[in-house]
Each structure stands twice: as C-alpha cells, then as structure tokens.
Amino acid sequence: MKKTIVPLGPFHPLLEEAEYFKLIVEGEKVVDIDMRVGYMHRGIEELSTQKTWDQSTFVVERICGICSTSHPMAYVLAVEDLCGCEVPDRAKYIRSIICELERIHSHLLWVGLAGHFIGYDTVFMWGWKYREPVLDICEKLTGNRNHYAMMKPGGVRRDLNNDDFAWVHKEMDKVIKSTEMLVGAVLDDPVLHARTKGIGVLSKKDAIGYGTLGPTVRASGIPDDIRTDDPYNAYDRVDWKVITWEGGDVFAKAAVRLLEIIESAKIVKQCMDDMPDGPIDANIKNMPPGEGIGHAEAPRGEVFHYVRGDGGNSAVRHKVRAPSFMNIPSFKATCVGHTISDVALITAAVDPCYCCTERMAVVERATDKLVMSGRELEECSRKATENLKKEYGSPTKVEKTVQKILSDF
Amino acid sequence: MSLTRWALKKSPWVYHVALSPCNNCDIEILDLLTPRFDVERFGIKLVGSPRHADALLVSGSVNRHVLPRFIELYKQTAKPCVVFGIGSCALSMTMFRDSYNTVGPLDKVVKEIDPNAIIAYVPGCPPKPEAMILGVVKALQTL
C-alpha cells in the first residue's frame, strides 16, 4: 500500500509547547512516527546562569506554566544539596501542599483535554469547572492562580495562614467529591471504554526501555514515584499510596491520573492537619563551590535539576531534564499500528500538553498535495466516538450523569 | 467608522498564537471558554484558523524559531485585526530579554510586518481571565 506522511504541528494554537510529529501512514494505519521538539526554546539554562541563586527560582518557574512548582522544587532541592542546609519542618509541609495542589489542577486539566479530543466536550467542561476551586485555593494561599513563587533555596518565600485551613479543608472535600463523580462517570462509560481500552498500549518492557516517567510508567504497572523512592518534603510523614494500573493503555493512564487526584487531596488535608509551627526559612548565608542535584515528582513525572557553583553568586552550569522529554519518544511504541483517529488521543495520553489538532494536515508523499485538513482529522476522531455511541445505545453513562445533575439543579 | 471596524466590534472571533510562552497564559486563555468565565456568551469564540479570526491572542516572547511562522500567520489573518499581547512576556519580554533566542517584543515584530497594526496589551504573569475580558472590551471600545 502507498505510504503517506501526516505532519502534526509544530504550531498548535490551543495551548502548550509546539512539537512536531511526522506520522507515516498506510491507509489509515500508522506504521512509523518521527518527532521534533525544541520549538519553544528560550535558553532557560543559560539565562539561569546569568541570575543569582535566588532569582533563578523565578526563571525555572517559567519553564512550564503547569509544572510551575515542580521545577522550582527540584531546583531548590539541588541548591540545598549543594550547600548542605537543612530545611525547617514547616517549610517542608508548605512545599508539599503547594506541589500537591499543582498536581490536582494539572490532572484535572488533562482529563478535560482528553475528553475534548475524543469528542466528549462535557468531560472537558467538567474537568475545567472542577479545576477552578483548586485555583481559588492556590490564589488564597499564595496570591496567584499560577506561578506561585513559593519556593526559595532554604525554605519557602511566604508563610501560610493557619486560619485559612478550615476553608481549604472544605474546598478539598468538594474537589474529592467531584473527582469521585468524574471517576464514576468516566471510568464506567462503555463508549469511553471502547475508545480507550487497548489503545496505545505501552508494555512494561517498553515503559522501562524508553525510560518513561510519572503516570505514563505507573499506568504500565511499575510503581515508580520519586515521592516514595527518594522522599523529599513531607511525603514520608503522611499516609498515601502510589497509584498503579495494569495495561499501559490510554484508559490506564486516565485511571491513574484520576485516582492520583484523590491521593493528592488526601496529602493536602493531612499536611494541613499536621502542620508544625516554626521558622519557614533556613537563611542560607554563603554558597560553597560544588555540585548539587535535585529531583521532584511533577504531575507528568520526574523533574531533574543539576547545578554547579564556583562559590560565587550564581550557578556556573544549570541542567534541567523535564519529564515530557522522556515520555514523548514512547510514541514510537504506542502510536504504531493504530489508526489516525486514535493518534491524537494516544499522544495526548502521556500529557505532553499536546492539544491542538487544527494544525494537522495529511499530505501525499509523492505530490506534497494537501489531502485532508486538521479539522477533518479532528472530525474523524469525533465520528469514531459518535459511531460507538450509536452502537452502545443512548443515553450513555456520561449523559445520564448530566441529566441527573440537571434534575438535581 | 468604517463598516469593517464596526463589524469587528461585534462578536470578535479570536485565534490563539503561542510564541514560545511558558503555557500559563495559554491555559488561562482556554480557561475563558470553560464554565466559570464562559466568554462565548459575549460572542467571543476561539477559532481554529487565523483566516476566520478578528483578533490574535499572542502569548510569549517571540523567538527565532517561531518568528517566520508568526509572520506567515499574521499575513493570513483577515484585516483589520487586533493583536492582543497576553501576559508580560509579550509586553516587555521580562526575564527573557537577555536570552540568546528571543528576537524582540511583540509590538516591534508586528509593526515591522504591518505599520498600521492595532496592538493591545494585557499585562500580568499570567493575567487573570477577568483581566483578559476587560482588555478585549477596552480595546474594542477604542475602535
């Protein structure tokens, strides 16, 4: 059969960094995939060496808007490793709370986008609606909806007010309740089962081979989590468990993320209950020459930072490795053999922030002629869900839940 | 007021352009469409092609890699159009000023392509969705 190339990206207007995927297809089946990253290069590592140790936390915060606490978290751990200082207990608990709030809103965002991709815009609106209260909590505790600027080498930048915790407890209960509703509606829906189960399977061997991280590897049944493997913050002092799921398909990845939201909410609640009093900053006075490493569990996987100092006011070398860098190459294992309508979902499943399909186009390799626009490709994905809906009969579980909410309202 | 400008004021359709941002402004732009803010009730709609757009929502400082793509994209947009610089990066490049890979703030780039371009800014890192709605309303009032 004639081979055709489907370029995805690099510019997708909805959100997130631009990546470029080249799908080589035979008919509707993907036989090979090639990818280019690096469109959003801003030279952060080099910029960081121009700033002081303290200023660099703000630079690394702007590596990614959704992981805006994980990057500073790993960076301050690296700096603390370099200067060998001990962080006060209260700062550790505050750090855990902010990191987990970020994980909750990031996972809810992903659930919404995944729903949008398969044509379930209801899930998109739900995910983002229930994400708003989390952002409200972040705004109340830190002063901003995103980019919290809480991390600082040696502690945290500002203290939390213990009087706010009662309100946060109440809001977290609401988040847990709405997530449980989402879990019930999304994970039991027969159409979503048919659309996600057995799609984009990442086997245990491939998950280890490609070095995938975070929910991507946990969905393949491997309990890999920096929060338990090398505990930082207060994660070893609270009761929670690492969520894993067997299968490695899109469904498993969705399940891991949804269940992690509930675990994260539990961590936040326990941290607020156990919050000790005391100082929040170790007041680092001087930086010795040397090297330091730090790693933290971002919503997408392990973030790794390395710094080297010469005793001066700024880092001489700063190296960052983000989780998507490891997760994106696994598309080579997951996308091959599936139809084009599934590829958008599979690439979205590792949460590389791939979101827009409008920039996709199908091009005949021989003539470079445009055969199919991105819009039509998205339609293709939506149609597959529509057909399944017809097959399984209406109303589906999601629709039933909508009707129930409307009748309660 | 010309007919095209009058038409621009009603139900502006926007296209979102990410010129090496940190994704935060982009998420807040998407947030506008979701139940809390729901700008579609004002007729503001995110469209998938610059050819359908009345306004471009640009986030991030412009880097070398995306500059040629942005020029192409601006030329495709139906004129007159309003260019919104969302966030502090588009406004003043903030901490990316010294980076080797950025080419300039948004207004400099846009004015080079089209000297008569209408540019509006919404500062903030990231700007709150309410601020974005206010920015769009204020910019349209000046037309």
Instruction: Count the Cβ atoms, other than its own, within 10 Å of residue A268.
Output: 27
Are B47 and B12 spatial neighbours (Cβ–Cβ below 8 Å)? Answer: no
More confident residue, B30 or B48: B30
Positive or negative: CA dihedral A273, A162, A103, A402: positive
Cβ atoms of residues A241 and A158 within 8 Å: no
> Is the model's pLDDT at A409 over the cut of 90?
no
| Fold of domain B3-142 | Rossmann fold (3.40.50)
CB-based contact A365:A3 (threshold 8 Å)? yes
The model's confidence at residue B143, banded by pLDDT at 50, 70 and 90, is: confident
Q: Which domains does chain A have, with CATH numbers?
A: 3-39+327-408 (no CATH), 44-325 (1.10.645.10)
Cα separation, A104 vs A200, whole angstroms: 24
Question: How large is the greatest C-alpha to C-alpha distance in chain B, in angstroms?
Answer: 43
Q: Would the CB atoms of B16 and A14 count as touching at under 8 Å?
A: yes
* Coil/strand/helix, residue A82: helix
Which of B61, B95, B102 is nearest residue A58 as measured by Cβ atoms?
B95
- Residue in A with minimal Cα distance to B93: A42
Per-residue pLDDT for A14 more than 50?
A: no
Q: Which of B124, B33, B126 is nearest to A131 (CA)?
A: B33
| List of chain A residues whose C-beta atoms are within 8 Å of the C-beta of residue B96 | 42-43, 47
Band (pLDDT 50/70/90 cuts) for residue B109 is: confident
DSSP letters of A141-208?
HHSSSS----EETTEESSPPPGGGHHHHHHHHHHHHHHHHHHHHHHHT-HHHHHHHTTSS---HHHHH
Task: Dig out the tokens for A127 from the structure.
Answer: 């995910």
Residue A258: closest CA among A99, A104, A96, A101: A104
Q: Which of A297, A296, A298, A316 is nearest to A307 (CA)?
A: A316
Q: What is the pLDDT of residues B38-55, one digit of tens each?
A: 888 888 888 877 888 888
Interface residue of B22, B49, B61 to substitute, partner A, most A CBs within 10 Å? B22
Q: What residues does A30 pair with on adjacent strands?
A: A25
Beta carbons of B28 and A131 less than 8 angstroms apart: no
- Residue-wise pLDDT tens digits, A348-373: 777 664 322 222 333 334 444 444 44
Which amino acid, residue A271? C
The contacts of residue A109 (CB under 8 Å, 6+ apart) are A66, A127, A128, A131, B27
User: Between A165-187 and A397-408, two packed helices, what is the crossing angle to 10 degrees?
Assistant: 140
Q: CB pairs below 8 Å between A and B: how many?
A: 116
**Interchain contact A358–B (C-beta under 8 A):** yes
- For chain A, the average pLDDT equals 82
Contacts of A229 (CB under 8 A, 6+ apart): none
What's the rounded Cα separation, in Å, for the pair A40 and A352? 13
Sorting pLDDT into bands at 50, 70 and 90, what band is A379?
Answer: low
Over range B45-69, report the average pLDDT. 84
B41 touching chain A per CB within 8 A: no
Contact A68 B24 (CB under 8 A): yes
Q: CA-to-CA distance for A210 and A333, rounded, in angstroms? A: 9
Local confidence band at A101 (pLDDT 50, 70, 90 cut-offs): very high
Strands (E), A176-331: 289-298, 301-310, 315-321
CB atoms near residue A352 (< 10 Å): 24
Determine the average pLDDT of the residues in A127-132.
Answer: 91
Sequence-distant (≥ 6) Cβ neighbours of residue A32 within 8 angstroms: A23, A24, A336
Q: Quick check: B108 pLDDT over 70?
A: yes
Q: What 3-state class would DSSP assign to A141?
A: helix
| Interface TM-score (ipTM) > 0.95 | no
Domain residue spans in chain B? 3-142
Report which of A97, A39, A80 is spatially closest to residue A305, judged by C-alpha positions: A80
Among residues A10, A6, A27, which one has the least CA distance to residue A18? A10
Q: Tokens 């121009």 — which residue? A: A50
Nearest to A318 by CA among A57, A84, A87, A141: A57
Is A125 part of the contact surface with chain B (CB cutoff 8 Å)? yes
Say which residue the tokens 């846009």 belong to.
B110
For chain B, what percent of residues have pLDDT higher than 90? 8
- CA of residue A307 relative to chain centroid, distance: 24
Average pLDDT over residues A213-237: 90
d(CA A251, CA A254): 5
Chain position carrying tokens 């983002």: A128
Helix (H) / strand (E) containing A253: helix A250-274
Q: Which residues pair with residue B15 across a beta bridge?
A: B56
pLDDT of amino acid A191? 85
pLDDT of residue A392: 65
C-beta atoms of B34 and A124 within 8 A: yes
E strand spans, B25-136: 45-46, 55-59, 62-63, 82-86, 102-104, 118-122
For A150-201, the pLDDT digits (tens) are 999 989 999 999 999 999 999 999 999 999 998 888 888 888 888 888 888 8
By the 10 Å C-beta count (0-12 exposed, 13-18 middle, 19+ buried), A20 is classed as middle
Contact status of B101 with chain A (Cβ, < 8 Å): yes
Residue B76 sits at the chain A interface (C-beta within 8 Å): no
Q: Is A36 on the interface with B (CB under 8 A)?
A: no
DSSP 3-state assignment of A269? Answer: helix
The whole-angstrom separation of Cα A257 and Cα A249 is 13
CA distance B28 to B30: 5
Per-residue model confidence (pLDDT) at position A394: 63
Mutate to test the interface with B, among A42, A60, A142 (most CBs of B within 10 A): A42
Please answer whether residues A128 and B35 qualify as being in contact, where contact means their C-beta atoms are separated by less than 8 angstroms: yes
